[in-house]
Each structure stands twice: as C-alpha cells, then as structure tokens.
Amino acid sequence: METKGTYKLTYVFDKETKELTVAVELLLREGLGQPFKNLYVGNATVNGQPYDDERLESCVDAKLMAERIGLEHKEKIIAKLKKEGKRLKIKKEEIK
C-alpha cells in the first residue's frame, strides 16, 4: 500500500508543450472505523484542481489510482484531438 502517487504526462500540441499532472494521497478517514469500510480515503488533484471520483472511497494504493486517473485523462485528450483531426506527441510519461 502506497499513500502517495503521482502521474505526469508531458506532451506537445501545436508546438506548445503541455503537462497533465495527477496527484493522489491516501488520508486517514475521520471518526471511528466502520465495519467493511476502508480506513483510508483517496484525495486526488488533476493539474492542481480537486478531482472527485467514487473509486477514491475504496482506494488502497495511491500510485495505482493516480495511474488509472491519468490514463483516463490521457485517452480523453487523445480522443478529443483525434476527433478534431489534430495530433499530439507524447514526450514523457512518468509514474511515481
């Protein structure tokens, strides 16, 4: 179980370098532990903005969850640009 995870994607679009950063941190749930509930809850940010997802409630590995959220956003960016007939070049993809 890892309590912190980061996914960084650096890509080039229209000769401009852009970055996607997803950070997930597991925080201890407030109050007493309840039966059949995880003691930790995930807290995620995407490019500095809070991100809410129901899967964060049952998250047990922050690194894995950061990778999943990052890959979802990557696929959305690629699909959006493909629909517009544009291309992007991925320079660097990093998971910590």
* Nearest-angstrom CA–CA distance, 27 and 39: 9
- State residue 86 phi and psi, 5-degree precision: -110, 165
94 domain-assigned: no
- Give the single-character DSSP code of 35: T
92 domain-assigned: no
Q: pLDDT truncated to tens, each residue of the chain (96 aa)? A: 899 999 999 999 888 999 999 999 999 888 766 777 788 899 999 999 999 999 998 889 999 999 999 999 999 999 999 999 888 899 999 999
Left, alpha or beta for 40 (phi > 0: left; psi -120 to 50: alpha)?
Answer: beta
- Domain range holding 69? 4-87
Name, in order, each residue with C-beta under 8 angstroms of 80's C-beta and a sequence gap of 6 or more.
none
**Domains identified in the chain, total number:** 1
56 domain-assigned: yes
33 domain-assigned: yes
57 domain-assigned: yes
17 domain-assigned: yes
pTM exceeding the 0.75 threshold for the entire prediction: yes
